Amino acid sequence: MRVYEAIVKGLEGVGVTAAFGGAGENAAGLMIALKHSERIRPVIARHEQAASFMACGYAMYSNRLGVCFATAGPGAFNLFSGLAVAMSDSYPVLAISGYSSLHWRGRGSLNETSGVNRTPDSQAMFAATTKKSFLLTDIADTCDVLEEAVNLAFEGRPGPVHIHVPENLTERGMEVENYRDIRLDVPRILPDPARVDEIATVLADAIMNRDPIVALAGFGAIRSGAGDQVKRLIERFQIPLITTLDGKGIVPEAHPLCAGVFGDSGHSSAWKAFREAKVVLCIGNALNQHATFNYHDGLFDGKVLIHVNISPTEIGKAYPADYALVSDARPAVAALADALETKVGEVAPAQVHHQDYEARPIKLDVTRLTGLIHPGRLAQSIGKMLPPGGVLLADAGAHLAWLGYYVELEEGQNFRKAGEFGPMAGHVNGALGLKVAHPERTVVVGCGDGCYSLSGFELMTAVQYQIPVIWVIFDDEEFKLIKLYQLEAYHETGLVEFTNPDFAAYARACGADGYRVDTLEGFEEAFRAALASGRPAVIDAKITRWAVPHYSPSPDGVIAGLVESLEARFRSR
């Protein structure tokens, strides 16, 4: 068995069903091995970066290993962005890349990245963007290295790993004589019962004293499949729930205990629930920049912070926790609810100021003047029409704030913003991997026109491999987010506008469906057709530039935020 045949067989055995990569001499053997695989669906992307994002998309909600691959040197270097996403957004991803022959080390052969004699050092670069990067030097180690890498990807807080396969190990005659199936055996991280009891006592005391509690759920809770346990906890103990953007929909957002999204582009009802709370129970989130109003000073002053996270390094990173529980979210919430059950009787219904996504007024309807679509209304329509079980991905930019704010998720639907590494195109392309992992779920990307332009050529991959993703382009011919930032920071804007092609015509030229719309009715008709067609589709939605997404730099609200920034400006004079 040749080296890549062994790797593919090993991956088949741990349930991998797809691999995303780019072509190349050093990936050639892997391409052939994948061609013969009956369990793994290979997807050759136009750009290896897209393949790395697809591996992230594949792992995002499947809890299966995302696999991407590339040839040595330049192909391999195109994988870094996806690995950085997997690192910061906790996806189990394996990257496999070629490596020039170990026999020629230091001679500067084609694609050499040994770091010797002024060649780039891929070991250092992969080490910097993964949990661990392996260099396979002895073909007899193939199964051991693969097993260690795959297990490490899932261990604790999941993340990326990488294996270099040198060219000399792929040569004819080089055989894996000692093939064995690999074992994926990663124990779930369970909560310490003593800690659970201690935290349950704090929560029980708060409930008994009628001190308001709020639960704040993030992507870790979604990843862990904690939705039903979170719902049980909040319903039984009448705890209002707020979420990060990525925690949206952990419990259907129409649930009477849901107070909306907490963060700088979130809902005032969520700020209210947070402000009033004496105890904050953070479940599976890391209290990152946008979820904390730029690490707002004193955010937790006067509050008790209980932080549940799978990784000890996430706890106390931004705010010291009064009580910490290192655990996978689902067993942690289940254990907390069980422990509380023994301590607390009937609980009076909580009064929650609920977010109404549909009725929320879009105050100044500039579309009457511009004749184009209001991005808030576009987001509302996407939310209303997203089918059951649908996944909506935003990319990086202002469009993400519109979507996070105005889309109301139902049971079983998901939303994911561009994550903490936050590359443009991460989700424009990651969506293909997501759709491959979940063919039964509708996958929609709401993306900016800048993000689409950076990476939209993977539409050709979607057409070739029949991966029916729907891209809705928020077409404003500008990098809106950067424009807003320039206005805030420099009081002027520059170099942020551009001209778009007719994306619908482009889509049709690629063999996909394409729609160009400049009214809400036109959009809804196109979206209905795209949802029904089962083919890759691009909807080029012309939106007005004259609308600004909802944003507050303060957890106390927009006005307080304005006052705070004015004060800061005066202080700096």
Ligand X SMILES: Cc1ncc(C[n+]2csc(CCOP(=O)(O)OP(=O)(O)O)c2C)c(N)n1
Contact positions vs Mg ion (CB under 5 A): 448-450, 476, 480
Residue 44: phi, psi to the nearest 5?
A: -95, 110
Joined tokens for residue 548? 């600004």
Contact segment (CB under 6 A) with ligand X among 152-160, 176-184, 198-206, 391-399 equals 391-399
Selection from ligand X, Mg ion, none that 422 binds (CB < 5 to 8 A by kind) is: ligand X
Among 149, 165, 250, 398, binds ligand X (CB under 6 A): 398
**C-beta closer to ligand X: residue 34 or 372:** 372
Selection from ligand X, Mg ion, none that 482 binds (CB < 5 to 8 A by kind) is: ligand X
Q: Does 422 bind ligand X (CB under 6 A)?
A: yes
Selection from ligand X, Mg ion, none that 403 binds (CB < 5 to 8 A by kind) is: none
Contact segment (CB under 6 A) with ligand X among 94-102, 298-306, 392-400, 518-526 equals 392-400
Q: Rg of the chain's alpha carbons, rounded to an integer?
A: 25
C-alpha span between 542 and 499 (Å, rounded): 12
**C-beta closer to ligand X: residue 24 or 397:** 397
Joined tokens for residue 423? 């590359």
Please, what is the minimum distance in Å from the beta carbon of residue 450 to Mg ion?
5
User: Mask 482-501, x = binds ligand X (CB under 6 A)?
Assistant: x-------------------
DSSP assignment, residue 349? Answer: P
Angle between helices 3-13 and 28-35 (to 10 degrees): 50
Please, what is the minimum distance in Å from the beta carbon of residue 450 to ligand X?
3
- Closest residue to ligand X in the complex (CB): 448
**C-beta closer to Mg ion: residue 376 or 468:** 376
Contacts of 566 (CB under 8 A, 6+ apart): none
Reference 542, options 325, 372, 395, 376; nearest CA is: 372
Please, what is the minimum distance in Å from the beta carbon of residue 104 to ligand X?
34
Contact segment (CB under 6 A) with ligand X among 69-77, 416-424, 501-509, 533-541 equals 416-424
Q: Does 392 bind ligand X (CB under 6 A)?
A: no
Please, what is the minimum distance in Å from the beta carbon of residue 547 to Mg ion?
12
Q: Does 399 bind ligand X (CB under 6 A)?
A: yes
Where is 537: in which H helix or E strand?
A: strand 537-542
Contacts of 400 (CB under 8 A, 6+ apart): 245, 265, 394, 417, 418, 446
Please, what is the minimum distance in Å from the beta carbon of residue 272 to ligand X?
28
Residue 168: phi, psi to the nearest 5?
A: -65, -20
C-alpha span between 261 and 219 (Å, rounded): 13
State how far the alpha carbon of 68 is from the alpha carbons of 51, 82, 234, 422, 437, in Å.
Answer: 6, 9, 39, 19, 14
Please, what is the minimum distance in Å from the beta carbon of residue 67 to ligand X?
23
Please, what is the minimum distance in Å from the beta carbon of residue 472 to Mg ion?
12
Please, what is the minimum distance in Å from the beta carbon of residue 265 to ligand X?
12
Contact segment (CB under 6 A) with ligand X among 90-98, 111-119, 219-227, 420-428 equals 420-428
Number of residues that bind ligand X (CB under 6 A): 18
Selection from Mg ion, ligand X, none that 423 binds (CB < 5 to 8 A by kind) is: ligand X
| Torsion from C-alpha of 234, 240, 245, 247, nearest 10 degrees | -10
Contacts of 404 (CB under 8 A, 6+ apart): 245, 248, 261, 265, 266, 394, 415, 417
C-alpha span between 305 and 257 (Å, rounded): 20
C-alpha span between 12 and 40 (Å, rounded): 7
- Closest residue to Mg ion in the complex (CB): 448
Selection from Mg ion, ligand X, none that 328 binds (CB < 5 to 8 A by kind) is: none
State how far the alpha carbon of 265 is from the alpha carbons of 109, 400, 401, in Å.
Answer: 50, 9, 6
**C-beta closer to Mg ion: residue 450 or 468:** 450
**C-beta closer to ligand X: residue 76 or 447:** 447
The amino acid at 510? C
Selection from ligand X, Mg ion, none that 264 binds (CB < 5 to 8 A by kind) is: none
Please, what is the minimum distance in Å from the beta carbon of residue 285 to ligand X?
21
Among 92, 284, 383, 397, binds ligand X (CB under 6 A): 397
Please give the full DSSP string across 498-510, using - where no structure is assigned.
Answer: -----HHHHHHHH
C-alpha span between 254 and 260 (Å, rounded): 9
Count CB-CB contacts under 10 A for residue 457: 16
465-484 positions binding ligand X, by CB under 6 A: 474, 476, 478-482
423-452 positions binding ligand X, by CB under 6 A: 423-424, 448-451
Please, what is the minimum distance in Å from the beta carbon of residue 551 to Mg ion?
16
**C-beta closer to ligand X: residue 419 or 536:** 419
Contact segment (CB under 6 A) with ligand X among 70-78, 261-269, 396-404, 487-495 equals 396-404
**C-beta closer to ligand X: residue 320 or 501:** 501
C-alpha span between 515 and 470 (Å, rounded): 11
State how far the alpha carbon of 477 is from the alpha carbons of 27, 332, 400, 404, 480, in Å.
Answer: 38, 46, 16, 21, 8
Binning the chain into helix, strand and coil, the percentages to the nearest 5 are 40, 15, 40
Please, what is the minimum distance in Å from the beta carbon of residue 226 to ligand X?
29
Please, what is the minimum distance in Å from the beta carbon of residue 362 to ligand X?
17
Name the site residues for ligand X (rule: CB under 6 A). 396-399, 422-424, 448-451, 474, 476, 478-482
